[in-house]
Amino acid sequence: MPGLNADLLRDDANPHPLDTAHTQVAVREILRAIGEDPDREGLRRTPERVARMYEELTEGYHVDPAKLINEAIFEVDYDDMVLVRDIDYASLCEHHMLPFLGRAHVAYLPNGKVIGLSKIPRIVEMFARRLQVQERMTTEIADFLMHHLEPKGVAVVVEGQHLCSMIRGVRKPNSTMVTSAMRGGFRKDSRTRSELMALLRLHHEE
């Protein structure tokens, strides 16, 4: 599919596990740099804890896309919209390495094939568990589904609250960022796009 990042399709996009020892050394240096003593009781195990945290929060780099889908694409005679709403996610902003989190809504128009329900949240999780920007994460989810499922269209809407703007910088704790990626029928057909937005709006009003 034109424009699709080749790394999304590779099983070995980032095959090496996190170097936890190196991470721990780096965290100790950060603690020293801000004027703390990494050997005091409360901080003694902080480098180890932070290394484990980053290993968990970046595990999306090490997911095998083929195994993630795991033959969970099925031939079904259904061509109306499929929508999975309110998929909770948490990611790390690549600019400040602070969390952003929220919900993703993913819809597609089947073209003779559907994907197992649990796989869509797992796809969101795979891309969220990386250093990210919300805009790129949104398009990566859409392009991944377009490539592997070959539907008539895909729509991804992501809502996110970013700690980098909530607790630093402009310090606006109630701001929410919304991004969308429309592919195929969702981009070409305004009625299909309006149907999706109406479903999402109705859900928010409930």
Which listed residue (48, 147, 161, 164) is catalytic?
Answer: 164
* Alpha-carbon distance values, 82 to 30, 110, 114, 123, 150 (Å): 46, 8, 9, 15, 14
Q: Is 162 a catalytic residue?
A: yes
Which listed residue (22, 95, 203, 204) is catalytic?
Answer: 95
Strands 153-162 and 73-75: unpaired
Which alpha helices (DSSP H) does 103-133 contain, by range?
Answer: 119-128
Query: Measured over all CA atoms, what is the biggest interatomic distance in the chain, rounded to whole angstroms?
Result: 64
Q: Is 93 a catalytic residue?
A: yes
Which listed residue (93, 125, 132, 140) is catalytic?
Answer: 93
Which listed residue (29, 56, 94, 135) is catalytic?
Answer: 94
The set of long-range contacts for 39-44, using a CB threshold of 8 Å and a minimum separation of 24, is: none
Which listed residue (134, 140, 148, 159) is catalytic?
Answer: 134
Give the closest residue to 63 by CA, choosing from 114, 13, 134. 13
Q: Is 22 a catalytic residue?
A: no
Which listed residue (48, 55, 62, 96) is catalytic?
Answer: 96
CB neighbourhood size of 129 (10 A): 20
CB 130 within 8 A of CB 119: no
Q: Is 96 a catalytic residue?
A: yes
Give the closest residue to 128 by CA, choosing from 196, 184, 179. 179
Q: Is 134 a catalytic residue?
A: yes
Residue numbers annotated as active site: 93-96, 134, 162, 164
